[in-house]
Amino acid sequence: MFETSRSERWLVQLGMRCPGLTPSSQVALEKDQFRLCEFDSVRVAYSNPFGGIELGPRCQLARFESVTDAQITVLREQLKGDKSRTQTK
């Protein structure tokens, strides 16, 4: 999810699984224009032992969908439920 400077929130879907991406990951944006758009890329940013940053493989953004606070709350609850179900299997 991204939040814009105008407090708009966008759910962003990836074209495929992004190696190394977790809920707490930091990402680097790779874009050609001022705006972030479909088909731009993100990369997981890793801190290396020398104080620098290393970037993982490119992960293409596939779709943006405007979402409300209520939708975000529902989505988070569903994801928590999915996570707890997979941990008990």
Domain boundary assignment for the chain: 2-87
The three-state secondary structure class of 78 is helix
CA–CA dist 21, 5 (Å, integer): 24
Q: What is the pLDDT of residue 58?
A: 93
Q: What is the pLDDT of residue 59?
A: 93
Q: Per residue in 1-40, pLDDT tens? A: 778 878 889 998 888 999 999 888 899 988 877 778 888 8
Q: Indicate if the alpha-carbon torsion angle 13, 59, 41, 46 is positive or negative.
A: positive
Q: Per residue in 48-65, pLDDT tens? A: 899 999 999 999 998 899
CA–CA dist 22, 34 (Å, integer): 26
Q: What is the pLDDT of residue 70?
A: 93
The pTM of this model reads 0.65
CA–CA dist 57, 28 (Å, integer): 11
